[in-house]
Chain A
Amino acid sequence: MLVCKDIQKTFDAGSATEKKALQGVSFEMKENDFVTIIGGNGAGKSTILNAIAGVFPVESGNILIDDNDVTRMPEFSRAKYIGRVFQDPRMGTVPNMTIEENLAIAVRRGKRRTLRWGITKNEREVFCEYLQTLGLGLENRLKAKVSTLSGGQRQALTLLMATIQKPLILLLDEHTAALDPKTAKSVLELTDRIVSENKLTTMMVTHNMRDALKCGNRLMMMHEGNIILDVQGDEKAGLTVPDLLKMFEQASGEAIANDRMLLS
């Protein structure tokens, strides 16, 4: 489904602030894989997601989605394969457009935009049904601007928008990190439900080890632009937070000095 071969990415190459964000990352994902990615700050978690989404070009390596080489494809052309939810709740939606208009844009992801109506009556009914499944009452607020929604509501809506047109790959970039714990929990449950109901191939970056263990069938740990741990199936299911910490020390040769990972 998704193949990454020897991906390299350096930010600010040749300058004093040069940062080798990805140092030859390779992995493969099967259909229906749900992988959680953890790692400290600057480990390259978000960078690998952005490389797959095409936010920036990579220096070397290949990215294949469903046997299509997308390495040189611009971000907007790859979007037909990819659904995305970002860390910042403001990034996934258009604040000054209504909920239904946002959904209408999302349901046409990867399709040619024409001079037909931006939204149809039929679609409105479908959106209503979909929004009901969120249980947030948004189905009664189709014509409300997204700017009137809370962060959690926006992430739930973004999640719906990313999956309403079934993507080959769903990329979640710390999508609960900016939410309060209670909202984060419900958005995570929603994520789990949507992913399993639609059998989506998913990559989820998180800094919360417990969430990483709880969700998905596979776990990757990154450190300084490399994948230092990749476990799946039963092996992953048996893991605990102390196991992860120990594995991190062994693999990286240093203790975790990252408050965010430890405290969460």
Chain B
Amino acid sequence: MNLGAILQAINLGLLWSIMAIGVFITFRILNFADLTVEGSFVLGAAVVARLITLNLDPALAAWIPLIATLAAVLIGVLAGLITGFLHTVLKIPPLLSGILTMTGLFSINLRIMGMANINLGRGITTLMDQAAGGLSNVTTGITGLFGGSAVDVVSRDASIAVGLVFVIIVIMALKLFFNTEIGYVIRATGDNEAMVKAQGVSTNRTKMLGLALGNGCVALSGALVAQTQGFADVNMGMGTIVTGLAAVIIGEVIFRDKNSHRVFIAVVFGAILFFIIRAFVLSIPWMNANDFRGITAIVIAIALAIPMFREKFNFRLKKAAFGSKEVE
């Protein structure tokens, strides 16, 4: 594994971490195993790809990548609301609500794109291309001051910069939001629904809001990933939930205290580490890209089982301690 591979892993990790933050909101804060993300990730990519390639008003051209990205977020929010509606109003269990929306989104994503795959490569301007251009001008300007020659920022590095900007904006916005009155009751909903109702708040509403927020993040991530990899594909969402969970769990392992306000940052580091591990595993000669998903699933199953193992182990320790006392 060389530096380039690690930088590429950081790039992907940053962009996918926004998806992982969305999974964290639904899975950990709301305590809702939401499979919508498999569809809303692609939805974000589909919306952005279609809007960018529509060749809208040339007067707006410079703004289109940003507008398309924001539109993707809004439509992701809608996807979350659909799952929320299925669960809270129609009383469908959480897992099934997510699966239904995810399944429906497959057709919607195809309709939005009009085909299974949209290319955002050469000749099409994405946020990443704009950032690369802008950053190249800046670095050239700076080196110019010292008499250096022009410097080109490669699109991977521009993408890392864009990812960082979005990650920082998302984390700050979420931190502020979860400290508002509404944010408080959303956090409380995942922990103790009865209490939230007893305090006069509709948990149907808090769940809808949480799902909307989570899927908005997921769609934003999909939109950014499509722009960095240069295409949107109707199947690119497969395994999203597992990647998200892996990032959340790795993040929680590194930052042991879950109470901390750094949970979102932990998830970002978790996502980056996940992609670095992935790059490493894929660099092993007898491994191929298709094996990685299987490995991820096994690792997550083990990680999720850790509390159970810990309990059993503690129990045995106690029993052992007890037994030895009796011998004395």
Contact = CB atoms under 8 A, between A and B. Distances in A.
A binds B: yes
Interface of A: 53, 74-77, 79-80, 82, 84, 86, 90-97, 101, 104-106, 108-111, 113-119, 145, 161
B91 to A, nearest CB: 14
Interface of B: 177, 179-185, 187-188, 191-192, 194-203, 259
B198 A79 contact: yes
Given A117-B180, A118-B183, A84 B198 contact: yes
A145 B192 CA distance: 14
B195 A94 contact: yes
Closest 3 CB pairs of A and B: A79-B200, A118-B184, A113-B181
Nearest to B177: A115
Helix, strand, loop or mixed for chain B's interface? helix
Contacts of B192: 90-91, 93-95
A91 B181 contact: no
Contacts, number: 83
Contact of B198 (A53, A95, A101, A104): A53
Contacts of B195: 91-94, 105
Contacts of B177: 115
B181 A116 contact: yes
B184 A106 contact: no
B184 A145 contact: no
Contacts of B197: 75-76, 79
B265 to A, nearest CB: 18
B180 A97 contact: no
A118 B259 contact: no
Contacts of A93: 192, 195
Contacts of A53: 198
Contacts of A80: 200
Given A91-B194, A94-B188, A94-B192, A118 B202 contact: no
A114 B181 CA distance: 6
A110 B200 contact: yes
